[in-house]
Amino acid sequence: MTNPILSHWDTPFEIAPFDAISDDDFAPALEEALAAHDAEIAAIAGDERPADFSNTVEALEAAGAALDKVLSVFFTVAGADSNPARQELQRAFSPKLAAHFSAISSNKALFGRVAEVWEKRDTLNLTEEQQRVLMLSHRGFVRAGAALTGDSDQRMQAIMGRLAELGTAFTQNLLADERDWFMPLAEDDLEGLPGFVVDAARAAGAEKGQEGPVVTLSRSIITPFLQSSPRRDLRERAFKAWRARGENGGETDNRAIAAEILALREERAKLLGYESFAAYKLETQMAGTPEKVRDLLMAVWEPAKAQAEADAAVLTEMMHQDGINGYLAPWDWHYYAQKRRKAEHDLDEAEVKPYLQLDRMIEAAFACANRLFGLEFKPLDVPLYHPDCRAWEVTRDGKHIAVFIGDYFARGSKRSGAWCSAMRSQAKFPKEQGPVVINVCNFAKGDPALLSYDDARTLFHEFGHALHQMLSDVTYESISGTSVARDFVELPSQLYEHWLEVPEVLAEFATHAETGEAMPKAMLDKVLGAANFDMGFQTVEYVASALVDLAFHEGAAPGDVMEKQAEVLAELGMPAAITMRHATPHFAHVFSGDGYSSGYYSYMWSEVMDADAFEAFEEAGDAFDAATAKALETHILSTGGSVEAADLYKRFRGRLPGVEALLKGRGLAA
């Protein structure tokens, strides 16, 4: 009987048949797909014909289709709907996959053929896109260690296998800590909490099998709880649990794992001849060097810290007026900042939330994509991996463009945060294929589901990534969609957030859940006026995390990661009432895989561009200016990684931006 994962998917748009796939199918499907890929690689490496672009580079592009199917389905459910069986499979798959890909990247015959094509590239009459794919393929082999021999080669393969195991363990430990902790609330403890927080806490209690409401470590519950609970003792308990994820001792403690990951990364970089892992990692990014990253972060750190310290003085005075003496603590900041926002902007989250219905914000994201790029979204009735998920067919001028899947609600089986991934990326080789793109978020459930303004921004952010995938128009999958430099990948997502702040968008889609009335103009003005509220705090907690990440990878790996973290923060003069956005033991961006290692700065690098890019629309006098939207699609959203990121940006804007637009956008300009 054919494994449903590997069979032909006779479904609308060949979406994975989730209703036919069981956890028992994954292991045999993986074994079969790995064997098929091994055979394809052996055939390419053993080809006796002279190596050329078609029989080597394109052949590599076409290889592994079965493996892509297995991994796209498995990693989708492992991240968004985990269970013990899937966690066990993930632990088993990680070293297997690392060994498999390591064997490919260290295959001397295969690398020899790629190198042969690279050497004669100027005689092959390749298109610009083909030249780019060849360069990336050759560079990828070299950076993976294909030129290493003997003991160095063996050691590199062992390092990559161990890093895969450690990244999986880090992720699963964090998920366990987030899933298992909750704080029951008595009825008296609900005093002062807005209705939406109480509703979310009751729903969380039901999910945890409790009689009453609970606070969990889901950001969509803990943040509004910290903002609204007058009970300082409960805020302290909740904040400390949030802060302690990954460092509670016992089996789920991530501190030793993080230290081992850093040591292995340093060894990997040295084997490849680099001074540090940061130097290795940043070589292929827009930033290029650790020094340029540090320059950007420090240019923002000083004004942000000054603003945060001024804000801390105001919040401390408010706390003293409440009869609480002493210093402002991290579990006090959200509460007093929220009170201050209410006082200064007359803006109360509980009053704003009914106007930010999840369904209406999805409509808003779709409507902006329609006005900018002509995309239309039609609901699809197809089986998906969880009842919370929904799907849409995306078309333009009647032509199929993509399938978009939204998975919006927090649950115990889903890792925290928000992300976008492609179950299938756009490509034209070896055959035409439209993308299947997923946005995964962690919003609180409700009837109807209501978002905070930050939640709404997250929704627009992830949809910006989705647009980058859906509007991709390249030949080869390896450079499709978001396959770009890490410090460029956040440009489309952060840029799309700007359309949430366009007054006419909120005026149309921010409608009250009960009355259906549009958000009053006075409230709309307050929401937009408060967009930069508490920006000193937000910038400090982010930049501190980025600088710790850089310090971890810039020099010798620290034996004690917490000691190194404390040392970096002390050197920066980190304000006492603010903590890193992601402390090391739960810094999944950096330790669950290689993606953002030495690269957490990339959100800010991209923000320099997104602030400048939106100014292009402002200069045109219309947030939906057709010519500017066309240029954005042509030069950035459709091109994937087919051209160097800096060149793409210059084609769109005519130049690279400076940090001034970012400081102005964050309200931190002098």
Q: Which residues are catalytic?
A: 462
CA distance 337 to 530: 12
**114 neighbors 47 (Cβ within 8 angstroms):** no
Strand partners, 378: 393
3-state secondary structure of 346: coil
Residue with tokens 């999840």: 358
621 contact partners, CB below 8 Å, separation of at least 6 = none
Instruction: Give the residue among 33, 94, 27, 98 at the shortest CA–CA distance from 65.
Output: 33
Residue with tokens 């790996």: 557
**428 neighbors 224 (Cβ within 8 angstroms):** no
Give the 3-state DSSP-derived string for 25-54, with helices as H, strands as E and coil as C: HHHHHHHHHHHHHHHHHHHHHCCCCCCCHH
- Would you give the DSSP letter of residue 559? S
CA distance 165 to 172: 11
Sign, CA dihedral 252-253-255-256, equals: negative
Sign, CA dihedral 10-374-399-130, equals: negative
389 contact partners, CB below 8 Å, separation of at least 6 = 405, 406, 407
Instruction: Give the residue among 105, 100, 89, 92 at the shortest CA–CA distance from 66.
Output: 100
3-state secondary structure of 399: strand
Give the 3-state DSSP-derived string for 174-221, with helices as H, strands as E and coil as C: HHHHHHHCEEECCHHHHCCCCHHHHHHHHHHHHHCCCCCCEEECCHHH
Tell me whether the omega of the peptide bond preceding residue 448 falls within 30 degrees of 0, making it cis: yes
**470 neighbors 629 (Cβ within 8 angstroms):** no
CA distance 475 to 134: 13
Q: Which amino acid is at 166?
A: L
Give the 3-state DSSP-derived string for 207-260, with helices as H, strands as E and coil as C: HCCCCCCEEECCHHHHHHHHHHCCCHHHHHHHHHHHHCCCCCCHHHCCHHHHHH
CA distance 670 to 660: 10
* 543: exposed, middle or buried (Cβ count in 10 Å: 0-12, 13-18, 19+): buried
